[in-house]
Amino acid sequence: MKIDITAAIVDLLYEHQTVVLPGLGAFVTDYKSATIDYVQGELAPPSKELEFNQNLLINDGVLVNHLQKKYDISSEQAETAIQTFVKELMKTIENKEMVVFPKVGKLYRDYENNYKFIPEANNFNTASFGLPDINFFPILREKGTSIRASNQSKPMAHPPSTSRSKSSDSILPVWMRVGLPILAVLTIVILLFSLFMLTKEDSGNNSRDEMAINSERINQKPSEESLLDDPEDIEDLAMDNSIDDTNNNTSDDINTEAPTIAPNQKEAFIIIHSFGNKNNVEKFMKTLLSDGFQPKSMKDGKLTRVGVVKFYEKEEELSELLDDLKKMYKTTPKVWEE
């Protein structure tokens, strides 16, 4: 009989605030009120925030009792099944791999040997379970709408007569009725002409500035630092031929603990991108972690090579991974040769 401990954890998270895996840690939920995103126009219902606490290791008996009732087994059998499950998880995590709990989240260790948990988008709040996000849009109203509506609703005691409208038109003198439209047209023409002249002057200044800048850069080679200090600068490995020169390279491996390698396995460091900016290195390493890879970085002159570590037995496994990385990250991965 197969005991599905992950499914038991999902069931308990709807009923309990904490579910402990003895020897590994605990999944802890916390109430989260409804949120409104005015930018996206979305209203999210109340839910439970899910986190992983590696300090809660003592068995509280909740998971054991649930397995006893669900699978009709003894407490010793339930504890044995949990211990076996935890040992397999610890072995996977020590190999720098990511553990996936369906409908719960992903658990792994970062390069500083700290647990990191990525929760799934699952609402464990039974009071609001199944409620979707609501999209809303603001209604724009004109300020005078209510005033006009109220005026239209009131009956007119004395409807306007044609003679009264004619007398109101005759209040303005003739020269104003003729001169005001002409003055408005002249004002518009002057404004358009002024805008045209300002735009022309600005374009002339910009062209002169560009000519001065281009004249200063003639026959000058751009420095390497100017190409690498751009926060969005990514060097293409397919165009980088300096990667094979490893005589003067100094390594700055971010991983602080090397994983255990089986006797029949080999280790390879596959480089995906090269960066000249430290922030880009950290961002791309987080991306590799979230994609389920073991990231690694190595200092190479002014560049930092970032890629993944692969343990393999056959060369076919390495070739398949190179093809997958090429499709995922739109680059040409290359194996680091020491």
Of 111-120, 151-160, 174-183, the poorest mean pLDDT is in: 151-160
Of 164-173, 203-212, 225-234, 280-289, the poorest mean pLDDT is in: 225-234
The Cα–Cα gap between 317 and 175 comes to 92
Angle between the 75-94 and 62-71 helix axes, to the nearest 10 degrees? 120
Helix, strand, coil shares of the chain, percent, nearest 5, are 40, 20, 40
| C-alpha neighbours within 13 Å on the C-beta side of residue 266 | 12
Asked, for residue 167, whether it belongs to a domain, the answer is no
Here the tokens at position 47 are 């839910």
Residue 244 has pLDDT above 50, yes or no: no
Nearest Cα to Cα of residue 257 among 93, 53, 86:
93
Q: pLDDT of 307-318, one tens digit each? A: 999 888 888 888
Q: pLDDT of 36-69, one tens digit each? A: 876 666 777 787 788 898 888 888 889 889 988 8
Residue 286 has pLDDT above 90, yes or no: yes
- Read off φ and ψ for residue 292, nearest 5 degrees: 95, 15
Residues 131 and 236 placed together within one structural domain of the fold: no
Q: From the DSSP assignment, how many helices (H) and strands (E) are in the chain?
A: 9, 13
Q: Taking residues 65-79, what's their average pLDDT?
A: 89
- Considering only residues 36 and 19, tell me which one the structure prediction assigns the higher pLDDT: 19
End-of-domain residue from the set 135, 161, 176: 135
Residue 305 has pLDDT above 60, yes or no: yes
Asked, for residue 142, whether it belongs to a domain, the answer is no
pLDDT band at 266, cuts 50/70/90? confident
- Considering only residues 200 and 140, tell me which one the structure prediction assigns the higher pLDDT: 200
Residue 157 has pLDDT above 70, yes or no: no
> Which pLDDT score, from 0 to 100, does residue 54 have?
85
Q: Taking residues 177-197, what's their average pLDDT?
A: 89
> Which pLDDT score, from 0 to 100, does residue 251 have?
38
Asked, for residue 248, whether it belongs to a domain, the answer is yes
- Considering only residues 221 and 289, tell me which one the structure prediction assigns the higher pLDDT: 289
Residue 255 has pLDDT above 80, yes or no: no
Beta bridge pairs of residue 334: 271
Residue 162 has pLDDT above 60, yes or no: no
**Count: domains in the chain:** 2
End-of-domain residue from the set 102, 135, 168: 135
> Which pLDDT score, from 0 to 100, does residue 139 have?
66
Q: pLDDT of 82-107, one tens digit each? A: 899 999 989 998 888 899 988 899 99
The Cα–Cα gap between 204 and 210 comes to 10
- Considering only residues 129 and 214, tell me which one the structure prediction assigns the higher pLDDT: 129
End-of-domain residue from the set 93, 118, 135: 135
> Which pLDDT score, from 0 to 100, does residue 304 have?
92
Other beta carbons less than 10 A from residue 138's beta carbon: 7
Asked, for residue 165, whether it belongs to a domain, the answer is no
Residue 248 has pLDDT above 70, yes or no: no
What pTM was computed for the model?
A: 0.38
Asked, for residue 87, whether it belongs to a domain, the answer is yes
Residue 230 has pLDDT above 90, yes or no: no
Residues 244 and 128 placed together within one structural domain of the fold: no
Asked, for residue 9, whether it belongs to a domain, the answer is yes
Domain that holds residue 260: 231-335
Residues 128 and 238 placed together within one structural domain of the fold: no
The Cα–Cα gap between 121 and 228 comes to 37
Asked, for residue 24, whether it belongs to a domain, the answer is yes
- Considering only residues 216 and 41, tell me which one the structure prediction assigns the higher pLDDT: 41
Residues 128 and 9 placed together within one structural domain of the fold: yes
Asked, for residue 34, whether it belongs to a domain, the answer is yes
The Cα–Cα gap between 81 and 89 comes to 13
> Which pLDDT score, from 0 to 100, does residue 219 have?
41
